[in-house]
Amino acid sequence: MDLELTGKRVLVTGGTRGIGRATVAAFLDEGARVGFCARNAEEVARTEAELASRGTVHGASVDVGDKEALAAWVNACAEEFGGLDVVVANVSALAIPDTEENWERSLNVDLMHTVRLVNAAMPYLKRSDAPSIVAISSVSGRESDFASGPYGTAKTAIVGYLHGLAFQLAEQGVRANTVSPGNTYFEGGIWANVEQNDHALFDTAMDLNPTGRMGRPEESAAAVVFLASPRASRISGTNLVVDGALTRGIQL
């Protein structure tokens, strides 16, 4: 299936690792032009070099918790690409323990970077012929689990925010959706760390997965790219769960 993304102009936050990197690669493979950011300049440069053969890709070192820096990056990419068609809010602080500092980090990074990305990109999206917003939430935003608290609450808020955007922007043709991955394993990721340092938690998490395995970044990235594409033109306000039947609640 041609997702009709050739030449589309895409931004992805947190594009050097895990789902973010897989999302950048998947958009490039569909012929899109992609700008991505992350905090670590060395990782940004390495990722850009490794993905350059797949298409037009530009990386930048940006702290998405910095409102001015995030807006400047969005504007610079829009100028470079001649506009924007898709934005993907992927960054998370992964601030799970229930402390006041983690509440502040989760709200500023997970939630407010999503809001600020949307606000900065909106003037460009409204001029696109296929505008789309996708944010990465989590199954922890859908039901209570060990990550309830700062992380889970911020992820729930992201789903609510994107659903509201979908309703508010429908007449203007701007679509907004979320993707909620379940446990996702990749080298250097949180679950690889848990596997090394907390065997009991890792075993418990694995036991909850009826497929007998955790997800791969590419599996969530595929959902992101489809929802962002013009092929999903009738889908807006949806929270697409990508969890291998991990969650038990029925999503109505």
How do strand 86-89 and strand 57-61 relate by DSSP bridges? unpaired
Tokens (6 digits) for 143: 């039901």
- What number is the average pLDDT over the span 82-110? 96
Query: Is 191 a member of any domain?
Result: no
- What percent of the chain lies above the pLDDT cut of 90? 89
Residue 68 lies in a domain: yes
Q: Is the pLDDT of residue 99 over 90?
A: yes
CA distance 78 to 9: 8
- Asked, for residue 211, whether it belongs to a domain, the answer is no
Q: Is 106 a catalytic residue?
A: no
Residue tagged active-site, from 92, 106, 140, 155: 155
pLDDT at 72 over 90: yes
Mean pLDDT of 199-218: 94
- When divided into structural domains, the chain yields a total of 1
Task: Note whether residue 171 is domain-resident.
Answer: yes
| Least confident segment among 148-152, 197-201, 215-219, 243-247 | 197-201
Catalytic entry in 92, 132, 138, 140: 138
What integer best gives the mean pLDDT of the chain? Answer: 96
Q: Is 126 a catalytic residue?
A: no
Q: Is 89 a member of any domain?
A: yes
| Gyration radius of the chain's alpha carbons | 17
Q: Would you say residue 196 lies in a domain? A: no
pLDDT, one tens digit per residue, over 124-181 is: 999 999 999 999 999 999 988 887 899 999 999 999 999 999 999 999 999 999 999 9
Instruction: Tell me, yes or no, whether 210 lies in a domain.
Output: no
Is this structure's pTM higher than 0.85? yes
Q: Give the mean model confidence (pLDDT) for residues 238-243.
A: 98
Query: Is 132 a known active-site residue?
Result: no
Domain membership flag for residue 145: yes
pLDDT of residue 54: 98
67 in catalytic set: no
Report pLDDT for 89.
98
pLDDT of residue 122: 98
Which one from 92, 106, 132, 137 is the annotated catalytic residue? Answer: 137
Q: Give me the domain span that covers residue 31.
A: 9-186+217-241
- Give the percent of the chain with pLDDT over 70: 100
Question: What CATH number does the domain containing 173 carry?
Answer: 3.40.50.720
Summarised one tens digit per residue, pLDDT across range 39-68 is: 999 999 999 999 999 999 999 999 999 999
